[in-house]
Structure 1
Amino acid sequence: MTLWASLTESIFHYTGLSPAAFFTILAIMFVTYKIVCGMFVAAGDYVEVKRANEYVVREPVQIGDVTEEDLKAYDGKDPNKPLLMAIKGQIYDVSRSRMFYGPGGPYALFAGRDASRALALMSFDPKDLTGNIDGLSDAELEVLQDWEYKFREKYVQVGQLVSHQTTSEASE
């Protein structure tokens, strides 16, 4: 009994609470902790969710000469295909930046296209999603050149765009 008396005296001395109040508060704190922890995904569950949403990052594969129509198939909708984008006719594998260029990303509309004009104009207008850079000012061409340098530095060039006529003539 001396242990219990010593414990109750210590609780009152350090907290100013009766043992009943102290243990009630302790129980409430424990229940609150469990409820708050239950509101979040358990660490084991997070690993499973991440694994389910993970896509395979592959080494870039050279695709060679493709048409703009063929490039559209590499817009990120098919997780088994690389995510590609072109600047000034040069195609880059942007798969490692899927969160930006993939579906739902802020720059997803550029994927699977030559976005030269849109990048030069800093535009998200669908009519600017073209490789046509005719009529751009020197300042806009400089902006485009900066984008091209960034892409060359960060991504692997995997091919280049060719016109549909060029590929049709080559197959004849």
Structure 2
Amino acid sequence: MGIADAVQAYTGLSPAAAVTVLALMLATYLIVSTLFVSPDTAAPPKLAQQQERGTEAEAEPFVPPFPDPVQVGEITLDQLRAYDGKDPAKSILIAIRGQVYDVSRGRLFYGPQGPYSLFAGRDASRALALMSFDLNDLTGDLEGLSPDELEVLQDWEEKFKERYPLVGHLPSDDATAGGDQKGAEPVDHEEENA
């Protein structure tokens, strides 16, 4: 029994089909594995090429994929706007119910070209509750929201708590700007800081 007969007996495919399937599996593996290369391993060849050409002075500084979370403490809405992802050296922050989360790990979503970039550097409470991309809904005002909308907001808040570090909070006057958050259930964030 030759190799071709063994391949056909084992796989049920002709030798040509078996080789094609194997080649496709290898190509898929190589493509998928390149998606998981860390930026640290991808950056040095570019830097080495620049140094070989004598352009070390022109080399772009290495910016980590996202900065380490920095506790901002109490931050106003005006200060929060500086953390919208446009400056790669700064974190991307989003406020929900007065709590500020560092969403830099989600730069693909919240960064300047991301589908949710509108929320970066803003209080997105109302917009998340309404599942809205309207600029007028980028506020902490929860007045007039239905119980179902408040539940949607609570779900978003739980997702943010699980995925992103809590790094600060809005002052009470900014957290309730535009309304007194009637109907909003208070959320205890002290447990996660303990």
TM-score (norm 2): 0.57
Identity %: 62
Deviation at 1:58, TM superposition (A): 2.6
CA distance in 2, matches of 1:53, 1:117: 38
Distance 1:113 1:50, change over 3 A: farther
Q: Which residue of 2 aligns with 1:161?
A: 170
Instruction: Give the equivalent residue in structure 2 for 1:106.
Output: 115
Which structure shows the higher helix fraction? 1
Paired position in structure 1 for 2:137: 128
Paired residues in the alignment total 118
Instruction: Tell me which residue corresponds to 1:79.
Output: 88
Q: Distance in 2 between matches of 1:139 and 1:66?
A: 29
TM-score when normalising by structure 1? 0.64
- The one-letter code matched in structure 2 to 1:86 is A
- Give, in whole Å, the separation in 1 of the partners of 2:85 and 2:133: 18
For residue 139 of structure 1, what is the aligned residue in structure 2? 148
Q: Which letter does structure 2 place at the counterpart of 1:95?
A: S
Q: Which has the larger radius of gyration?
A: 1
5+ residue gaps, structure 2: 1-41, 48-59, 175-194
Distance 1:100 1:50, change over 3 A: farther
CA distance in 2, matches of 1:129, 1:155: 20
Q: In structure 1, the residue corresponding to 2:150 is in which secondary structure?
A: helix
Match status 1:96 vs 2:105: yes
Deviations 1:59-83 (A, max 9, x none): 2110000110110000001111111
